[in-house]
Amino acid sequence: MSKLVTIYGGSGFVGRYVARRMAKEGWRVRVAVRRPNEAIFVKPYGTVGQVEPVLCNIRDDASVRAVMYGADAVVNCVGILAPSGKNQFDAVQHEGAERVARIASEHGIGRLVHISAIGADENGDSTYAQTKALGEEGVLQHFPQAVILRPSIVFGAEDEFFNRFASVSRFGPVLPVVGADTKFQPVYVDDVAKAAVMGVLGEAVPGIYELGGPEVATFRELMHSMLDIVRRRRLVVNIPFFVARIMGTSFDIVSKLSGGLIAAPLTRDQVRNLAHDNIVADGAKGFADLGIEPTAFEVILPNYLWRFRPSGQYEAIKESAQNLRTDHE
């Protein structure tokens, strides 16, 4: 019988790519999610019955243990950018990560891959960074041979970064950003998935890997690159951090008063994160150690941002026609 991998958060942005690659490797894939009915799209990643979404709450021992039963390997892709209801940073990124590792150790699971993030720091400014670091600590405490992946900002067709700002660029002549001079090293989601699969297959030496793409660019430079792709001219305006902190605090209050029904477009914790560069540290293990050549964001972004161009999929046709007119004049 083929081997089984349980992927916590397997229908999320990164998780779905890991699930698809594990199915291609011939493994049975158990996609553990809070809402299996919303994860049906993962089933066609493999043959009939090869990829199955199952109910799991990472905050509950019994739930985590049930979906891990019989697995040969485990991948934890669960993470949040902002707290909501009972899904707080500590409960999900610290206690949840540690719970998965502890139970994996109890079950004698062969391999564990944990998705963390660059900037994970127990003494960091943000709760996000602190809980990511505490989660890593908990994972290594119970599963010292784990492979931990720390990606920079992740991009791909379903991302919440370039898609979000490309959407905003459709309205008005100004594109506001917080931390315009903060540096990022965008990494392609499928490259992160490749690294995770290597961890599952035992092709990666246990340890922590920081994953960044081939380019380091400031937030402002990334926005200019995105604007070139969507064929829009906008003024990228930096929002000072002191203003952003006030905005984040206000949005947090509104979100709490609404019981989470109104999602904060910017939180105070995110503002703290944006004050720090998000790039691979000097001397850190990374893609080179895994033999993976990271993909440049300029290669991938046009494949999914075209829909934000003024004429959508017809923009290329219009540009071609314009060139023809120019050639004949």
Query: Concatenated DSSP letters for 129-180?
Result: HHHHHHHHHHHHHH-TT-EEEEESSEESTT-SSHHHHHHHTTSSSEEEEE-T
Residue 91 lies in a domain: yes
pLDDT at residue 263 in the model:
85
Specify the CATH number for the domain of residue 289.
3.40.50.720
- Would residue 247 count as lying in a domain? no
Burial of 164 (C-beta count, 10 Å sphere; 0-12/13-18/19+) = exposed
> If we measure between CA atoms, which residue out of 236, 126, 231 comes closest to residue 177?
236
pLDDT, one tens digit for every residue, the chain (329 residues): 689 999 999 999 999 999 999 999 999 999 999 999 999 999 999 999 999 999 999 999 999 999 999 999 999 999 998 888 888 999 999 999 999 999 999 999 999 999 999 999 999 999 999 999 999 999 999 999 999 999 999 999 999 999 999 999 999 999 999 999 999 999 999 999 999 999 999 999 999 999 999 999 999 999 999 999 999 999 999 999 999 999 999 999 998 888 878 888 999 999 999 999 999 999 999 999 999 999 999 999 999 999 999 987 767 777 666 666 555 55
What secondary structure, in 3-state letters, does 76-90 show?
ECCCCCCCECCECHH
SS3 at position 52:
strand
> What's the pTM value of the predicted model, to 2 decimals?
0.93
The answer to whether residue 99 is domain-embedded is yes
Q: Is residue 98 part of a domain?
A: yes
Residue 260 domain-assigned (yes or no): no
Indicate if the alpha-carbon torsion angle 129, 131, 134, 140 is positive or negative.
Answer: negative
Determine the structural domain holding residue 76 and report its residue range.
Answer: 4-156+186-214+279-294
SS3 readout for 206-244: CEEEEECCCCCEEHHHHHHHHHHHCCCCCEEEEECHHHH
Which sign, positive or negative, has the C-alpha torsion 144, 94, 76, 191?
negative
SS3 262: coil
- Max CA pair span of the chain: 75
Q: Do 111 and 205 meet the contact criterion of CB atoms below 8 Å apart?
A: no
In a domain, 302, yes or no: no
- Give the C-alpha separation, 69 to 56, whole Å: 12
Q: Which amino acid makes up residue 290?
A: L
What is the model's pLDDT at position 256? 87
Instruction: Give the model's pLDDT for residue 273.
Output: 95
Task: Indicate whether 58 belongs to any domain.
Answer: yes
What lies within 8 Å, CB to CB, of 18 at 6+ separation is: 7, 10, 75, 77, 193, 196, 197
Closest CA to 155 of 129, 183, 192, 180: 192
Angle 306-311-312 (CA atoms, 0-180°, nearest 5)?
30
How many structural domains does the chain have?
1
Paired strand residues for 7: 31, 75
| Residue 240 domain-assigned (yes or no) | no
Give residues with Cβ within 8 angstroms of 1, minimum separation 6: none
